[in-house]
């Protein structure tokens, strides 16, 4: 476990936009949704972000929570996540993000014991999906469950806000206001979803999923997903 005198500093570092976890190369389906004409303005971005957080609570948070409780079932959680992410774009993005998260965390926190986790993923030839790996990594780093859940959903909202800025939909100040608005949903979503089991995961944002699946067919793209 990572030895940190004040866990707040570690969390601030993880949430900092400069932390190279690879999240800024993904838009969570926003780019394709914009190209499909489903999001056209700031109000649409806000609605998208709130739906993304709600969906993350139902589809990802149970896997994050279960992996945080115990990494012994990581293989089963990884297989479940792979079966759930039938959208090839989302599946590919999830596989890519675990590498960035584990590598960046191991390099940034050298006193942490993340080596065995990375070795296990490779030895057992797991897909290494982001949701369960996120929970396992934060547990190794010593971040408690509630803060892990909050951090996961906060990063989901921030992904949308930062992507919207790069896509020219909103400005930097608007993005900060958006983050303030959607962050109010985080504890509400956790309260609704914290007791869900891995097999309770569900797709609650089919339109976003459908639009995201067209990402590779866009003529030009800023993001990988």
The enclosing H or E element of 200 equals: none
What is the pLDDT at residue 127? Answer: 87
What is the pLDDT at residue 22? Answer: 62
Query: What DSSP letter does each residue of 17-51 carry, written as one string?
Result: TTS-SSGGG--TTHHHHHHTTS--SHHHHHHHHHH
Q: Count of alpha carbons within 13 Å of 214, Cβ hemisphere only?
A: 16
> Model confidence over 117-137: pLDDT tens digits?
878 888 888 888 999 999 999
Task: Compare 17 and 56 and report the one with higher pLDDT.
Answer: 56
Give yes or no for residue 71 having a pLDDT over 60: yes
Prediction pTM value? 0.92
> Model confidence over 173-199: pLDDT tens digits?
999 999 999 999 999 999 999 999 999
Give yes or no for residue 3 having a pLDDT over 50: no
Contact 66, 132 (CB under 8 A): yes
Task: Compare 11 and 83 and report the one with higher pLDDT.
Answer: 83
Sign of CA dihedral 13, 56, 160, 28: positive
pLDDT band at 162 (very low <50, low <70, confident <90, very high): very high
């Amino acid at each position: 476990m990572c030895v940190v005198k004040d866990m707040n500093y570690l969390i601030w570092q993880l949430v900092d936009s400069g932390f190279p976890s690879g999240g800024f190369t993904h838009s969570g389906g926003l780019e394709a949704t914009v190209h499909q004409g489903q999001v056209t303005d700031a109000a649409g971005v806000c609605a998208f972000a709130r739906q993304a957080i709600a969906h993350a609570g139902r589809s990802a948070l149970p896997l994050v929570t279960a992996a945080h409780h115990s990494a012994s079932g990581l293989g089963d959680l990884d297989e479940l996540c792979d079966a759930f992410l039938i959208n090839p774009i989302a599946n590919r993005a999830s596989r890519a993000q675990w590498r960035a998260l584990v590598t960046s965390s191991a390099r940034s926190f050298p006193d942490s014991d993340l080596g065995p986790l990375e070795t296990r993923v490779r030895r057992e030839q797991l897909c290494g999906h982001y949701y369960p790996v996120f929970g396992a990594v934060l547990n190794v780093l010593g971040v408690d469950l509630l803060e892990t859940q909050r951090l996961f959903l906060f990063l989901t909202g921030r992904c949308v806000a930062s992507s919207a800025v790069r896509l020219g939909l909103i400005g930097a100040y608007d993005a900060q206001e958006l983050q303030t608005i959607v962050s109010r949903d985080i504890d509400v979503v956790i309260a609704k979803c914290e007791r869900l089991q891995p097999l309770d995961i569900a797709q609650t944002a089919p339109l976003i999923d459908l639009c995201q699946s067209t990402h590779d067919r866009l003529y030009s793209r800023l993001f990988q997903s």
